[in-house]
A = this chain, B = another copy of it.
Amino acid sequence: MDILVVGAGAIGGYYGGRLAQAGARVSVVARSDYGAVAEHGIAVESPAGDFVFRPHAVLQSVSQVKTPPDVVLVGLKVLPEIPVADLIRPAVGPGTAILLIQNGVDIERPIAEAFPENEIISGLAFICVSRTGPGRVCHQDYGRIVIGRYPEGRSETAEALADLFRKAGVPCEVSSDVVRARWQKLVWNAPFNPISVLSGGASTREMLESEEMTRLVRAVMEEVCAVASAAGRGLPDDVVDRMISDTRKMTPYKTSMLLDYEAGRPMEVEAILGNAVRIARNLGVSVPRMETLYALLSALEQRNPHRASPA
């Protein structure tokens, strides 16, 4: 299988590297990190064993692609300033499937609209991984991935990708209802990511220390469940209780949005909150707490004080 990874950051580097380990022919488009990646590949530190991912080819731009790959793997963040469809267009042939390993809900829609004839595979990564430098990725923990055809249904490509992931030791589940899986992941992300930032840097555990905050976390989760249900993707009844009790048991950590904010990087405000709020409004579901978090986080994103002094 010929795979082109667009975005040689944490997600693209890690999962691209695993697919290469399993025998796929994986090339990489690296822009700012081109020099390091072309020379040394991508060094991945992992509790399962460090390895170096040496791509089949390293390109500086998607426009250098000569033969469309079987799969374009997008590991980019979901940000208004990253026009994913335009970015990958030169590499997308008639038979190319597009695998989006990204956060949020409704993030597939612009890609599906831009490539109505191509198979879109939506992927959710449950992983702690970060780019620690040019061509350097550190996998801290977890790593499971859920993939599935967008908007739903079975997919041979997804099955083939899952086989490769599993071969490389990555737990992978193929879902025939990946949109529902996205809503379920949002039940966690919609409260914890924004609140960690808006509260001035609370860890997952600190967000569940006060009664007032726990009440807020729970209420936001219930709003997400209500939207998912109205969108025809109802979630299990116990999902809120389960996520809160699981989070209490986790080692306290900083959410990815908080890490982004503190590093002066853009936050995925639209993917995590904006899209969900718009869907809620279209469906007539009341989501006052999500709207509040969305308005505050959008304003904060515009004036992130950490951005004044880039690292």
Q: Which listed segment binds B: A40-48, A53-61, A177-185, A207-215?
A: A207-215
Number of interface residues of A (CB under 8 A): 29
* Structural contact, B288 and A219, CB atoms closer than 8 A: yes
Interface residues of A in 179-224 (CB under 8 A from B): 195, 198-202, 206-207, 210, 212-213, 215-216, 219
CB contact between A198 and one of B201, B216, B296, B304 (< 8 Å): that residue: B296
CB contact between A295 and one of B212, B299, B300 (< 8 Å): that residue: B212
* Structural contact, A305 and B216, CB atoms closer than 8 A: no
Distance in angstroms between the alpha carbons of A210 and B295 in the assembled complex: 9
Distance in angstroms between the alpha carbons of A236 and B300 in the assembled complex: 33
A294 at the interface (CB under 8 A from B): yes
Instruction: Mark contacts of A230-258 with chain B using CB atoms, 8 A cut-off: 1 yes-contact digit, 0 otherwise.
Output: 00000000000000000000000000000
* Structural contact, A200 and B288, CB atoms closer than 8 A: no
Distance in angstroms between the alpha carbons of A207 and B298 in the assembled complex: 11
Q: Which chain B positions have C-beta within 8 A of A210?
A: 295, 298-299
* Structural contact, A300 and B212, CB atoms closer than 8 A: no
Which residue of B is nearest A196, CB measured? B299
Nearest-CB distance from A265 to chain B (Å)? Answer: 15
Distance in angstroms between the alpha carbons of A168 and B153 in the assembled complex: 78
Q: Which chain B positions have C-beta within 8 A of A159?
A: none
Which residue of B is nearest A301, CB measured? B200
CB contact under 8 A between A212 and B289, given known A198-B198, A199-B303: no
Provide 5 A-B residue pairs closer than 8 Å at the C-beta atoms, listed in order of the A residue: A200-B304, A202-B299, A210-B295, A212-B291, A296-B296
Task: Give chain A's interface residues, CB within 8 Å of chain B.
Answer: 195, 198-202, 206-207, 210, 212-213, 215-216, 219, 288-289, 291-296, 298-300, 302-305
